[in-house]
Amino acid sequence: MTNKVSSRLKATVAVAAIVAQLAALPGTAFAFCGFYVATADSKLFNKSSKVVLARDGNTTTMTMASDFSGEPKEFAVVIPVPTFIERKQIGVVEMKTIDHLDAFTAPRLVEYHDGDPCVRYDMVMRRAMPMAAPSAVAAMSYTDGRYAGVTVEANYDVGEYDVSILSAQESDGLVNFLIDNDYKIPAGTDAVLGSYIKQKMRFFVAKVNTERMAGMANGYLRPLQVRYETPKFMLPLRLGTVNANGPQDLIILALTKNGRVETSNYRTVKIPSDTNVPLYVKNEFGNFYKAMFDRAVERENMRAVFVEYAWDMGWCDPCASDPLSNKELVELGARWIASDDDKPYRSMGGANAYVTRLHVRYDANTFPEDLVLMETRDRGNFQGRYVLRHPWTGKTACEAGAQYRASLRVRFEQEARNLAGLTGWSLSDISARMEQTGQLTRVR
C-alpha cells in the first residue's frame, strides 16, 4: 500500500480555439499589423488576426491572416515593409496551414484521472508557395501635384490579389494617392505613415482582383505571404490602431532555428500556466481563458507581450493537434528545413525548427512603438496549460483510500482559489458552480 495518489498515464487534451471564441464575445476587438481600407464608406473592422513570422538570419517571411468579413472587392491592406519587394518574394498560402499551427500551439486544457489509491502503480513516463506569372512594370514616380513624392515601384499579380509596392517622400502625397484610387483612409493615418516614411520603409498594398478570384475554386481570401531581407526583426503595429475600435488582439506565431522569440522594447512575460482548476471549466474553457487573459493584461497594465507557447517543433507533450509536416513548415517560411515532404517534422541536425506563440493586446497609448523582436538561444519548453484532475470514483477500502478521500476537500478548495486568482471570478460563485456540477458532493 502507499499514501501516494497515482494518476492514470493517459491525459485527455482539450484545446480551445481561443481566438475564434474570443472573436464571438463582446467587448474584444482584434487587429492586424497594417490597416484595412474600404471603397466608398464601407465600414471594415479588424475582427481577429494571426501573423506567422519565419526568421532565418536576416530573412523574414511574414504570412498574414485575418478574419475579414465583407465583399472581396472591398478588401485592401497596407503593410509597411523595410525594403523593395520582388514578385518572387510574394505568394499566398492555404489558411488550413496557419490554422494547423494555431491549433498546435493553442493554450490547452488537459485531463488526468486519479488511479485507485489502494493499488500501487509504477508510473510509466510519457511516452510553396504557388507563383503566378509576374507582371512588374517600370516604376512610376510623381514629382509634383497631389501625389508628390510617391513612387509605384512595382505591380504584381499574386493569386487573387493585385499587389503594389509603393514608396513615398511625404505622407500627404501617399494619402492622396490611396484616396484617389478609391480607398477610404481612416483619420489619423497620415501621421503614422509619415513615421514609416522617415524610416525609409516601403508600403506593400494588396487588394482583391475579383475577376481572377471568380475563376478560382477557393471561394475565400487566402493569407498573403511576403519574404524580405533586413537586419531588423520587427512587426509594425501602429497602422493597426488607426481604424481600431478599442484595444486589439494579435497572435504572432514565430518559427526560428535557434530558440524562443521575445520583444526587446516591451516586456515579454509568460501567461499563467500549469494550474489545477475545477472540473466544470472543461465546458467553459473559452470563457475561462478570456477572463484569465483579461486579468493578466490588466495586471501588466496592457503593456506586455504574453508567451502562450514555446517549444521545439519536433515534439510536444501533450500534443494539442497532429504535428505539422515538413511541407507545412516550409510553406510557412521555414525554408531551412532540408525536406519539404508530407512527413511529420522531426528535428535533425542543422534543421531545427522552434515555435513561439505570442499574444499581444494593445492600443495606440499602451503600445506607441512597433514590436521589435529578437530570437534568443532559449530552447526551454513552455505552454499555456490548465489541468483537470478527476478523482477516483471506485471503492477505497484501505487506509490509503481513507486518507485520499479526506484530502479531496482541501484539493477542491485549492482549485477554486486557483480559478478565482486566475480570473478574478467570485470564490463563492465558483464554489456554487462546483456544487451545482457535483464536484463537491463527491467528497461527502
Nearest Cα to 352, choosing from 368, 334, 364? Answer: 334
Higher pLDDT, 221 or 260: 260
Per-residue pLDDT tens digits for 328-341: 999 999 999 866 66
Where residue 274 falls (left for φ over 0; alpha for ψ -120 to 50; beta otherwise) is left
Q: Summarize the confidence of residues 253-272 as an average pLDDT.
A: 96
Residue 220 neighbours by CB distance under 10 Å: 10
| Type of residue numbered 371 | L
* Cell triple for 431: 464554489
Query: Do the beta carbons of residue 372 and residue 261 sit within 8 Å?
Result: no
* DSSP one-letter string for 403-432: HHHHHHHHHHHHHHHHHHHHH---HHHHHH
Distance between CA 385 and CA 111 in Å, rounded? 11
Distance between CA 125 and CA 168 in Å, rounded? 59
Q: Summarize the confidence of residues 421-428 as an average pLDDT.
A: 96
Per-residue pLDDT tens digits for 21-76: 333 333 333 344 555 443 322 223 334 588 999 999 999 999 998 766 667 777 77
Distance between CA 54 and CA 363 in Å, rounded? 25
Per-residue pLDDT tens digits for 299-320: 999 999 999 999 999 888 888 8
Q: Where are the beta strands (DSSP E) in 198-352?
A: 202-208, 224-229, 234-235, 248-256, 261-263, 267-270, 275-276, 304-312
Distance between CA 397 and CA 34 in Å, rounded? 64
- Residue 269: which residues within 8 A CB-CB, separation 6 or more? 300, 304, 305, 306, 307
| Type of residue numbered 296 | A
